Amino acid sequence: MMPGVTETKALRPWSGDRAPADWGLGDGQAVPWEYAPAPESKDVVSIKPRYGLFIDGREVNASDGGWFKSVNPATEEVIAEVARATPADVDRAIRAARRAQKTRWGNLPGRERAKYLFRIARILQERSREFAVLESMDSGKPIKESRDVDVPLVANHFWYYAGWADKLEYAFPGRVAKPLGVAAQVIPWNFPLLMLAWKIAPALAAGNTVVLKPASTTPLSALLFAEVCQQADLPAGVVNIVPGPSDIGMHLVSSPNVDKVAFTGSTGVGKLIQKATAGTNKALTLELGGKAANIVFEDAALDQAVEGIVNGIYFNQGEVCCAGSRLLVQESVQDALIEKLKDRLSTIRVGDPLDKNTDVGAINSKAQLEKITELVQAGVDEGADMYQPACDLPERGYFFRPTLFTNVAQSHRIAKEEIFGPVLSVLTFRTPDEAVEKANNTPYGLSAGVWTEKGSRILWMVRKLQAGVVWANTFNRFDPTSPFGGYKESGFGREGGMHGLHAYVKLEDR
């Protein structure tokens, strides 16, 4: 037991305005006040009972007439039924994409492609509230995040790449950038619409057409996006969306008729997808898992660091590939930091994703909740000390309390495996070298955080950390102009910025 680290608390509901002394919140500290419900209205979005596939510009049923249900993870209620694509449907979508690429989109001057993308960006801005509400309902993420982070970034992403469509010659000096052809894209459930934007915007800007498979638990925002494509009068077949289970994704990326494969998801599935492209000439980019270290030095501004740590691991319920799931804190400030962190955790509001006050929403699915529960149990079993703030969880839906583990060893599963949940593992270090060694001691290499007031140390850490994104004195920031992607087993290729274009072009001599 490290000094100053309190034991795991038994969880019990509370009432009144003072925290019980045994919560470790400090003597007489005020506990968070009650919030009146502030629900976002569902009426802003009209949800159809059924959504078809989006192939060749039209909404169609699956060839075998199959449907699956998309469930609201916060209520366990069915939101809508979605057509379940078959391999034949995927093949049809690929043919439509090929036709569109050859006959229309690939020949369209860049400046005309740009205008379609600008249209899409504008429509997304106009309909942002619909998208935010639907996204929160389908994925479980707080409306605060879908409204203020996901959807604005989505519109901005299309806006950014729209402007590249007619300027490719300036992105690749000395070369002519040609589209690859048809892109097969498979995206995850944690940022359903944002990952769609990261995939589709650069692909279209460069003159490719796409067949995209959204995750089976979060297909709805992609199908609402299909409406945006129609509203923008995007030529038929340029964007095709085929929801379905994972084997549909494998069928899509394995097709000999696609030229490019882009995947965001787990490292395990990423390896399977890389295998599916083995021996072919398909271009491939993979954005896979992570186990990021968030490193706090003793000279850091601790209050700001606490905010960054909380944002790093509890943003989107921790269901973030670049989440700062390992806190590496310098021993000399460990006690102070943990105390502040626990204070801060007690103010986190877990609950209805559609409530505008909610900080942590619902876990995306029952399966994911079970995985988080299993790994947290493993943390307890392996001897780490668990802390969870007392907070009431809704009776229905898939929820998990923000969780903090101290006394964590590098060998613990919670320090090695990607949990993809609101679970932070705290480890300590004494010297910068030790911090680097521990931070890099993982097959992953997606992101890292550094907190220190010393500029030269930041840049030294930046050089040493094996991670595609390093946030210094901040965490979990995203921008369309900023390349994102991993080192090592977190994948290869970049999304965002000029580098994101590279994944969707072949370079020829002038």
Partner 1 sequence: MAAPRRSRSVTRASSNGRTPATAGGRVEVRKTYKLYIGGQFPRSESGRSYVVGAADGTPLANAVRASRKDVRDAVRAARNAFPGWAERTAMNRGQVLYRVAELMEGRRDQFVAEVAQAEGLRDDRAREVVNRAIDRWVWYAGWADKIAQVLGSSNPVASDFFNFTIPEPTGVVGVVAPEPSSLLGLVSRLAPPLVAGNAVVVLASETRPLPAITLTEVLATSDVPAGVVNVLTGRKRELVPVLAAHVDVDALDVWGVPDDLRKDVELVAADSVMRIARRPAGVTDARFDWLDDRASERPEWIAAYLEMKTVWHPIGV
Query: Annotated active-site positions, please?
Result: 287, 321
CB of 80 to partner 1, least distance (A): 33
Counting contacts by CB under 8 A, is residue 274 touching partner 1?
Answer: yes
Sequence-distant (6+) residues with CB within 8 A of 127 are 228
Sequence-distant (6+) residues with CB within 8 A of 116 are 162, 204, 232, 233, 234
Counting contacts by CB under 8 A, is residue 278 touching partner 1?
Answer: yes
Write the Ramachandran bin of 36: left for phi over 0, alpha for psi from -120 to 50, otherwise beta. Answer: beta
Sequence-distant (6+) residues with CB within 8 A of 10 are none
Distances (CA, A) of 99 to 8, 281, 450: 60, 20, 48
Q: For partner 1, which is the closer residue by CB, 441 or 473?
A: 473
CB of 132 to partner 1, least distance (A): 18
| Binding span for partner 1 by CB under 8 A among 101-109, 136-144, 171-179, 425-433 | 171-179
3-state SS, one letter per residue, for 390-438: CCCCCCCCCCCCCEEEECCCCCCHHHHCCCCCCEEEEEEECCHHHHHHH
Counting contacts by CB under 8 A, is residue 451 touching partner 1?
Answer: no
Counting contacts by CB under 8 A, is residue 388 touching partner 1?
Answer: no
Length of the chain: 510
Amino acid at 377: Q
Counting contacts by CB under 8 A, is residue 454 touching partner 1?
Answer: no
CB of 212 to partner 1, least distance (A): 22
Q: For partner 1, which is the closer residue by CB, 308 or 361?
A: 308
Counting contacts by CB under 8 A, is residue 301 touching partner 1?
Answer: no
Out of 55, 93, 286, 350, point to the residue binding partner 1 (CB under 8 A): 286
25 within 8 A of 346, measured Cβ to Cβ:
yes
Sequence-distant (6+) residues with CB within 8 A of 94 are 182, 184, 211, 240, 252, 255, 257, 258
Report the relative pairing of strands 67-72 and 77-83 from DSSP bridges: antiparallel
Q: For partner 1, which is the closer residue by CB, 29 or 304?
A: 304
510 within 8 A of 490, measured Cβ to Cβ:
no
CB of 1 to partner 1, least distance (A): 36
317 within 8 A of 360, measured Cβ to Cβ:
yes
| N-terminal to C-terminal alpha carbon distance within the chain | 66
Out of 219, 270, 389, 422, point to the residue binding partner 1 (CB under 8 A): 270
Counting contacts by CB under 8 A, is residue 267 touching partner 1?
Answer: yes
Counting contacts by CB under 8 A, is residue 462 touching partner 1?
Answer: yes
Q: Is 42 helix (H, G, I), strand (E, B) or coil?
A: helix
Amino acid at 330: Q
CB of 262 to partner 1, least distance (A): 15
Binding pattern for the stretch 398-437 against partner 1, x by CB under 8 A and - elsewhere:
----------------------------------------
| Binding span for partner 1 by CB under 8 A among 15-23, 82-90, 371-379, 455-463 | 455-463
CB of 257 to partner 1, least distance (A): 15
| Residues 469 to 508 in contact with partner 1, rule: CB under 8 A | 469-474, 477, 479, 481-485, 487-492, 494, 497-499, 502, 507
CB of 374 to partner 1, least distance (A): 25
CB of 240 to partner 1, least distance (A): 24
Q: For partner 1, which is the closer residue by CB, 247 or 509?
A: 509
Counting contacts by CB under 8 A, is residue 225 touching partner 1?
Answer: no
Supply φ then ψ for residue 408, to 5 degrees: -95, 135
Query: How many of the chain's residues bind partner 1 (CB under 8 A)?
Result: 47
Cα separation of 330 and 339, whole Å?
14
Cα separation of 362 and 75, whole Å?
9
Cα separation of 454 and 411, whole Å?
31
Binding pattern for the stretch 107-126 against partner 1, x by CB under 8 A and - elsewhere:
--------------------
Closest residue by Cα to residue 14 from 37, 32, 28: 32
Supply φ then ψ for residue 89, to 5 degrees: -65, -40
**For residue 377, what is the DSSP state?**
H
CB of 79 to partner 1, least distance (A): 32
Residues that bind partner 1 (CB under 8 A): 156, 173-175, 267, 270-271, 274-275, 277-279, 281, 286, 288, 443, 458, 462-463, 467-474, 477, 479, 481-485, 487-492, 494, 497-499, 502, 507, 509
